[in-house]
Structure 1
Amino acid sequence: MKFKKRILLMLFVLVQSTAVFAKDYKASFFHIKSDGATMNTRSIQFAIDHISKNGGGRLVFYVGRYLTGSIHMKSNVTLHLEEGAVLLGSTNPFDYDRIGNTALIHARDLENVGITGKGMIDGQGRALANNSIAYANDGLIEDILKYDRTRESIRPMVIYWVGCTNVNIKDVILQNSACWLQTYERCKNLVIDHITVNNVAFWNSDGIDIVDCDNVVITNNNIDAADDGICLKSHNEKFYCNNILIENNIVRTSANGIKLGTAGKGGFRNIKIINNTVYNTYRSAIALQSVDGGFLEDIVVDGLKSTNTGNVIFLRLGERVVGKKSTMDRISIKNVVADVPFGKADAGYDYEGPIEDMPRNISPIIIAGLPGQYINNVTFSNFEVTYPGAGNKFLAYVALDKLDSIPEVPDGYPEFSMFKEVPAWGIYVRHAKNINFSNIKLKADKKDYRLPIVMDDVQGAELKKVTFEQIDQKKLLHTYKSTNVTVK
């Protein structure tokens, strides 16, 4: 409760601070053209500079299409797009500035900045990305063209804001980035509320990326992305994501719905993920990953509806940097209703997840630490999970007395599919301590050769009111190299 009060107070202060700079300036006053053809970059930049120098305010765009290349925000300025207004990114890669990363709208070390209104920002990402590839092929852009696409740092995002305080992104429609749509790095007091994200124009197209930020509210948003929907990252071991509320969002992706980690050099602390819906999502609804030497602790997931999603919960410790040990501690996940499909959850979308990463014999819930490096203090309660069953032992049958043959892959990129087929159809736990499950209902629709739950090297676990439905199976649990595991 104290956490939520603090976040709400921060939101109130942010709204009040932006209200001080509420003078409106019409875009047309600066001769910014709405014909969709005139390049307005210099005119929009002049307007932003003018408003900032004169005490701040809103640059208001009315109905029309406003073409631009990279622009740079200034303190105390908000871009406000009325319904029917479209800020249109250029399709020419040379119209974009690169400062760390390439973006349409840059901001760095500012305060009281935002983008509001019911209008739209369209990055025209598919055409922009393809033009970037064409220039690279002609030698005009230097790039290795890995996977037949230019690298992320030179494919323009729509928003890239670094080191900003009091940031308000509200109501707008953001779409069609050539890369990650919006990245906020080392920002403080950030609100993203009631926005619509449609970011399926190209590869690596996350919906929202939060990097080493403090005091963040992400609420009431509708996100459709070809890559991770809401992704928290930590790029610097001196910083970490802290005090973040992710609530009442609807997410669809061809990767993970809500993910913490990759990268995770610093860490994640005090994250609340409340009452979210994830659907038609290829990978995990919730992925909590600490694999780059950082920490991940004090995380609460309360209220999740996961529909037609390849994996429900994935917790992973890794060691992608030799000698840097990661930690995961104090995780609470409760009030979850989920179903897992038999086929590809994102089949039919323009950019689907790769078929080679879709093992058939998976588990809705995977908790995977490393030998001697345990995931600690995890509580699951009030779950209803429906799994299709029909696991095929001829794909990759793992005998219960040969669980050591499952690869550890400590340096592997963390995804629920990284172990391929796993030996439990419901819950697979490996290298963990103090794990508690209560009021869990598991159902396999069709016959499956595996048990509902397998625990491998689990030191201390309690299962209370854990029930399952499975054809021709009466045994709930198999333990291996585990101690103090009790079923009540």
Structure 2
Amino acid sequence: MKTKLLILLYITFSIPAIAQKRLNIKDFGARTGLDFNNASIIQEAIDQASASGGGIVTVPEGNYLSGPLVLKSNVELHLEKNAILWGSAKRNDYTAGKMAIISAVGQHHIRISGKGTIDGQGRELVQNTLLLLRAGEIRDHEWLAKRPGEDNRTNLIYFKGCKDVSVTGITLKNASSWVQNYKECEGVVIDSMTVNSICYWNNDGIDIVDSKKVRISNSSFNAADDAICLKSEISAGSCEDILVENCTLRSSASGFKLGTGSVGGFRKVTVKNLTVFDTYRSAIALETVDGAFLEDVDIDGVNAKNTGNAIFIRLGHRNKDSRFSTLKNVSIRNVKVEVPAGKPDIGYPMEGPLPKVSPHNLLPASVTGLPGHEVENVKLENIEIVYGGGASKERAFVSLDALDKVTENEAGYPEFTMFSELPSWGLYTRHAKNMTISNIKLRLRGEDFRPALVFDDVKKLSLDKIDIPAESSAAAIIVKNVEGLKYQNSKAAVKKI
């Protein structure tokens, strides 16, 4: 209740009231049914509202088909309960620069609200595109390759360079690309939203790209790709002052992620109270691999079940220039994760892809930098992870006297399987500085021959209250090239190699 009140206050005081002039699209001639495109009619209502200083354009109960719409300053698009705005399933209704059902560029004080639904008909749109390609009616080299990039498929919402944005209450379904993209915006409120988009590849539930002052709360995301994803795509840009709280996430990629696109930076990101389930990759993934800074990230309260990986923190070097990413000041606490022995998203329409390098045993949480470019000031506190176990040396094996053979994979795509086999079952850390781990509890449901924790090339490591099963390996914690180890309030054996 307190959170919803704060969000309401944020909306009320940060976004000036939109003029209360109401325009019903039916008064402009809108028709229900999926055989009439209402795009020009709805656009006329939006244009009229904007020209008169602002207003609320209402979509009443019913099914309304539409092509691309452009939202304008001081206009609110309100979808009443049981109103569905269907995106056109005809590829020729979309042109360059208009690849979203609702877009806005450089606008201010814009809103989408209500209890209605926007359905992009993504599966049908893809089928129509393929038919036109095969018939030679359209030409597009990207579609004839593996699959087209995000810019060549349709978002439901695309806002760029906008200020004071609010999207609340609605349901978003079935995009053929990222569901919604807020790019280089400032002052964005997302609240009480439901996203269900699992009909095609790269269906991120929501993408925040180089935007500032963003609040995402009280929402649920079921996505074929990352559920909530922050990206930075330009060197002068960054995601800053971001709050994500009280959300439920399901993904055939990662639940909450910073990256993979990481050119500029990420700063002051706060995450609270997430529920994650049936997620193929990581519940939490923090990735900077294209030269970006990533700092001042605070995550508190994550409950994840049936998830392929708990925590993945990665500093890499995928960019071709000499810039290196930096990653520092990250706090993750009060996290519970259950990692199964099997694939957690089996049965969903768009399952996560099998690892490029296999086989491997169940993979641990990991915190990894690069030689000479360490992950700095990471704190893990009150963490509980239960693993399915079942590791086998016949499947894969990294000897503890051969830790140097674990690939750095400096330029690899960042995901928890990128190292193939890892030498521990609970947590693997390499190339880190000033790392603090306290009150961590690791459990196994099946046997695992590996030690629980491995630390390699770590400067200043504090371990406090490490709870590991007594039946695990005698050398439960392995340290190599670790300087300044502080170890207390724990019974697990530590072995230096």
Q: CA deviation at 1:359?
A: 5.5
Q: Is the 8 A contact 1:125 1:177 kept in 2?
A: yes
Match of 1:49 in 2: 47
Q: The residue matched to 2:438 in structure 1 has which SS?
A: strand
Q: Is the 8 A contact 2:360 2:396 kept in 1?
A: no
Q: CA deviation at 1:273?
A: 0.8
Match of 1:268 in 2: 266
Please say which of residues 73-82 and 150-159 is displaced more in the overlay: 150-159
- Identify if the C-alpha distance between structure 1 residues 134 and 471 changes in structure 2 by more than 3 Å, giving closer, same or farther: farther
Partners of 1:235 and 1:453 in 2: CA distance = 34
- Residue 335 of structure 2 aligns with an amino acid whose one-letter code is V
Please say which of residues 373-382 and 138-147 is displaced more in the overlay: 138-147
Q: CA deviation at 1:144?
A: 3.1
Equivalent positions of 1:420-431 (< 5 A) are 420-431=420-431
- Residue 107 of structure 2 aligns with an amino acid whose one-letter code is L
Deviation per CA, 1:83-118: give whole Å up to 9, x if none.
11000000111112322x721111000001111000
Q: The residue matched to 2:17 in structure 1 has which SS?
A: helix
Match of 2:342 in 1: 343
Q: Is the 8 A contact 1:81 1:172 kept in 2?
A: yes
Please say which of residues 451-460 and 349-358 is displaced more in the overlay: 349-358
Partners of 2:346 and 2:385 in 1: CA distance = 21
Partners of 1:356 and 1:320 in 2: CA distance = 19
Match of 1:229 in 2: 227
Q: CA deviation at 1:34?
A: 1.8
- Residue 119 of structure 1 aligns with an amino acid whose one-letter code is G
Q: The residue matched to 2:26 in structure 1 has which SS?
A: helix
Q: Which residue of 209, 212, 215 corresponds with 1:211?
A: 209
- Identify if the C-alpha distance between structure 1 residues 469 and 448 changes in structure 2 by more than 3 Å, giving closer, same or farther: same
Match of 2:121 in 1: 124
Q: CA deviation at 1:15?
A: 5.7
Deviation per CA, 1:286-340: give whole Å up to 9, x if none.
1000100010000000000011000010000011113120000000000011110
Q: CA RMSD in A?
A: 1.8
Q: CA deviation at 1:146?
A: 6.1
Match of 1:432 in 2: 432
- Identify if the C-alpha distance between structure 1 residues 470 and 85 changes in structure 2 by more than 3 Å, giving closer, same or farther: farther
Q: CA deviation at 1:388?
A: 1.1
Match of 1:89 in 2: 87
Match of 2:414 in 1: 414
Equivalent positions of 1:184-333 (< 5 A) are 184-322=182-320, 323-333=322-332
Match of 2:99 in 1: 102
Q: Is the 8 A contact 1:81 1:116 kept in 2?
A: yes
- Identify if the C-alpha distance between structure 1 residues 423 and 146 changes in structure 2 by more than 3 Å, giving closer, same or farther: farther
Partners of 1:262 and 1:393 in 2: CA distance = 32
Match of 1:160 in 2: 158
Q: CA deviation at 1:75?
A: 0.4
Partners of 1:12 and 1:443 in 2: CA distance = 42
Q: Is the 8 A contact 1:362 1:420 kept in 2?
A: no
- Residue 125 of structure 1 aligns with an amino acid whose one-letter code is G
- Residue 23 of structure 1 aligns with an amino acid whose one-letter code is K
- Identify if the C-alpha distance between structure 1 residues 147 and 465 changes in structure 2 by more than 3 Å, giving closer, same or farther: farther
Q: Is the 8 A contact 1:448 1:471 kept in 2?
A: no
Match of 1:365 in 2: 365
Q: Is the 8 A contact 2:219 2:247 kept in 1?
A: yes
Q: Is the 8 A contact 1:132 1:150 kept in 2?
A: no
Q: The residue matched to 1:339 in structure 2 has which SS?
A: strand
Q: Which residue of 108, 111, 122 corresponds with 2:108?
A: 111
Equivalent positions of 1:382-393 (< 5 A) are 382-393=382-393
Partners of 2:339 and 2:359 in 1: CA distance = 13
Q: Is the 8 A contact 2:248 2:276 kept in 1?
A: yes
Q: CA deviation at 1:136?
A: 3.0
Match of 1:27 in 2: 25
Partners of 2:49 and 2:170 in 1: CA distance = 21
Q: CA deviation at 1:23?
A: 2.2
Partners of 1:327 and 1:146 in 2: CA distance = 37
Q: TM-score, normalised by structure 2?
A: 0.94
Count of residue pairs the alignment pairs up: 483
Partners of 1:319 and 1:137 in 2: CA distance = 39
Q: CA deviation at 1:9?
A: 8.2
Please say which of residues 477-486 and 159-168 is displaced more in the overlay: 477-486
Match of 1:477 in 2: 477
Q: The residue matched to 2:172 in structure 1 has which SS?
A: strand
Q: Is the 8 A contact 1:363 1:428 kept in 2?
A: no
Partners of 1:275 and 1:146 in 2: CA distance = 42
Identity fraction in percent: 42
Q: CA deviation at 1:76?
A: 0.6
- Identify if the C-alpha distance between structure 1 residues 333 and 292 changes in structure 2 by more than 3 Å, giving closer, same or farther: same
Q: Say whether 1:72 aligns with 2:70.
A: yes
Match of 1:445 in 2: 445
Q: CA deviation at 1:147?
A: 5.8
Partners of 2:217 and 2:79 in 1: CA distance = 20
Q: CA deviation at 1:150?
A: 3.1
Q: The residue matched to 1:134 in structure 2 has which SS?
A: helix
Match of 1:150 in 2: 148
Partners of 1:469 and 1:333 in 2: CA distance = 23
Q: Is the 8 A contact 1:227 1:254 kept in 2?
A: yes
- Residue 105 of structure 1 aligns with an amino acid whose one-letter code is I
Q: Is the 8 A contact 2:427 2:454 kept in 1?
A: yes
Match of 1:172 in 2: 170
